[in-house]
Amino acid sequence: MEFCDECGSMMHSEDGLWVCRSCGFEKQQGDDDADRMTTTEGQDTDSGPVDMSEVDDSEIGPTTRVNCPECGNDRARYEMKQIRAADESETRFFTCTECEHKWREDDH
């Protein structure tokens, strides 16, 4: 990863140059830069539903104020897990303290 010398933003690789999309600064890439680069382009970042059926409710952690979509109760236990790419936010898993309904919430 390369950062702009002018504004500090992350730079992008374009035709052998590092290009800052924030301020337009450009600089030549070094020979070893390509060896250090990785990309998530084309990778499947959605692993699908997560099965929480075998997790003991007592392991799901602290409670928070959130409305249950099933019964309307305003308290649920929650747990946060990194299930997508590392550069994306964590997914929040909730379990209603009243009816035990389980759901998840992602930032979009």
User: Binding site annotation covers 95?
Assistant: no
Say how far apart CA 62 and CA 35 lie, in whole Å. Answer: 44
User: Binding site annotation covers 96?
Assistant: yes
User: Binding site annotation covers 99?
Assistant: yes
User: Binding site annotation covers 4?
Assistant: yes
- Whether residue 21 contacts residue 2, with contact meaning beta carbons closer than 8 Å, is answered with no
The angle formed by the CA atoms of residues 53, 59 and 64, to the nearest 5 degrees, is: 100
Say how far apart CA 16 and CA 102 lie, in whole Å. Answer: 49
59 closest CA partner among 27, 43, 81 = 81
User: Binding site annotation covers 71?
Assistant: yes
User: Binding site annotation covers 7?
Assistant: yes
Binding site feature residues for Zn(2+): 4, 7, 20, 23, 68, 71, 96, 99
Binding site feature residues: 4, 7, 20, 23, 68, 71, 96, 99
